[in-house]
């Protein structure tokens, strides 16, 4: 039986599929064989943050954490849905505010409102049921190479102009959280009746649709195309890690979409008290100070000092997420993704 105050050595086990963090293992949840105090499911993009903060959590709560990381977010969601009647995880870490719709639809998590939410801006309380507690967020934007582009499109209308033929790198909403966020942005902007026309209008302007955002980013850095769908904070990453100021970003004048990642407590968790403590931990200054330089997004805590590269980034005035709140349901998102596939892939 898992004990909260285990005497075992502090350690983190990362179980992955086709990733090079630890040796490749089966995706079967039974691969978590040790009697852990807390089991966390996440995906590969979250590993830099997770592996940095979990040892501190283990030390503070004198527990042993099992961390299972799936290659992609859709693999994580599929496993959670498969296990929903007999869950092996206690916490899910890193689900975004687009994919959370499937967690809610399948009743995977349970409500928990940590006290730390009181100090977080109300605009970041995306899930009012508090199944989803955000720990980081960012704004969608189009990055561009200033050495190739001097006057980027000012609005969605100009984005559709034929002069930008084969200029844009985007990612697939079926396999990428960034790609799904762009699809939701388009539905927020044009509505269910108009988003299809928008995608038809920009199809010829897209240079490549990648399975993952990393693939699009690599092509962008290699100058294969001058525009990349990313985040305003991606510019900060390029300054800090590539020591280059040749990239900037633009947001269409009509508004942008806010992307967020969150943490949730699994329904019927075997370690409910410890799972809730981990959610509290994600909102602590100790964790929040690492968010910007591991996820390259904003921490939800305003008490954290941001890297200098963030300080010249403008906070968009018009965030349009709330335009689809009343129609944001799993069946609707499935329909939007299927329609996108018909228009852009089939």
pLDDT, position 173: 97
Whether residues 334 and 219 share a domain: the answer is: yes
Residues 187-200: what's their mean pLDDT? Answer: 97
The string of DSSP codes covering 139-201 is EEEEEEETTT-SS---SHHHHT-GGGTT-EEEE-TTT-HHHHHHHHHHHHHHHHHHHHHHHHH
Residue 324 has pLDDT above 60, yes or no: yes
pLDDT, position 35: 83
Whether residues 39 and 120 share a domain: the answer is: yes
Between 20 and 274, residue with greater pLDDT: 274
Q: How far is residue 138's CA from residue 181's CA, in Å, rounded to a whole number?
A: 11
Residue 4, in any domain of the structure: no
Whether residues 198 and 332 share a domain: the answer is: yes
Tens-place pLDDT, residues 77-135: 999 999 999 999 999 999 999 999 999 999 999 999 999 999 999 999 989 999 999 99
Range of the domain at 151: 139-258+313-344
Residue 34, in any domain of the structure: yes
Residue 5, in any domain of the structure: no
Q: How far is residue 214's CA from residue 73's CA, in Å, rounded to a whole number?
A: 14
The answer to whether residues 185 and 191 touch, using CB atoms and an 8 Å cutoff, is: no
pLDDT, position 120: 94
Residues 152-167: what's their mean pLDDT? Answer: 96
| Other beta carbons less than 10 A from residue 144's beta carbon | 23
The pTM is what?
0.90
Query: For the chain, what is the domain count?
Result: 2
Structure tokens at 17: 């599929």
Residue 179, in any domain of the structure: yes
Cβ neighbours of residue 154 closer than 8 Å, sequence gap 6 or more: 250, 252, 253
Mean pLDDT, the chain, integer: 90
Residue 3, in any domain of the structure: no
Tens-place pLDDT, residues 12-71: 444 443 333 332 233 344 455 578 999 999 999 999 999 999 999 999 999 999 999 999
Whether residues 245 and 283 share a domain: the answer is: no
Residues 277-301: what's their mean pLDDT? Answer: 97
Whether residues 122 and 183 share a domain: the answer is: no
Residue 181, in any domain of the structure: yes
Looking up residue 25, the CATH number of its domain turns out to be: 3.40.190.10
Whether residues 173 and 227 share a domain: the answer is: yes
């Amino acid at each position: 039986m898992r004990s909260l105050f285990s005497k075992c050595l502090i350690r983190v086990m990362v179980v992955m599929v086709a990733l090079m963090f630890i040796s490749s293992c089966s995706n079967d949840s039974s691969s978590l064989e040790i009697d852990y105090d807390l089991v966390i499911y996440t995906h590969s993009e979250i590993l830099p943050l997770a592996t940095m903060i979990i040892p501190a959590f283990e030390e503070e709560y004198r527990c042993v954490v099992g961390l299972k990381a799936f290659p992609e977010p859709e693999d994580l969601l599929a496993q959670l849905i498969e296990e929903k009647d007999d869950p092996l995880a206690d916490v899910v870490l890193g689900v975004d505010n687009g994919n959370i719709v499937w967690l809610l639809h399948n009743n995977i998590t349970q409500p928990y409102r940590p006290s730390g939410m009181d100090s977080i801006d109300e605009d970041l309380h995306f899930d009012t049921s508090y199944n989803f507690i955000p720990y980081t967020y960012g704004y969608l934007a189009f990055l561009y190479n200033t050495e190739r582009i001097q006057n980027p499109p000012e609005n969605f209308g100009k984005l559709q102009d034929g002069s930008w033929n084969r200029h844009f790198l985007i990612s697939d909403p079926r396999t990428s959280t960034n790609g799904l966020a762009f699809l939701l942005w388009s539905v927020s902007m044009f509505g269910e009746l108009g988003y299809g026309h928008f995608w038809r209008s920009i199809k010829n302007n897209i240079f490549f649709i990648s399975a993952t955002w990393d693939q699009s980013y690599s092509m962008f850095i290699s100058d294969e195309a001058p525009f990349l769908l990313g985040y305003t904070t991606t510019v900060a990453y390029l300054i800090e890690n590539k020591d280059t100021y040749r990239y900037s970003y633009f947001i269409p004048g009509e508004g942008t979409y806010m992307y967020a990642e969150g943490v949730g407590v699994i329904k019927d968790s075997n370690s409910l008290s410890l799972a809730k403590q981990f959610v509290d931990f994600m909102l602590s200054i100790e964790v929040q100070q690492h968010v910007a330089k591991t996820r390259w997004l904003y921490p939800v805590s305003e008490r954290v000092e941001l890297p200098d590269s963030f300080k010249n980034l403008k906070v968009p005035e018009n965030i349009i997420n709330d335009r689809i709140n009343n129609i944001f349901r799993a069946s609707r998102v499935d329909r939007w993704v299927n329609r996108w596939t018909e228009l852009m892939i089939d």
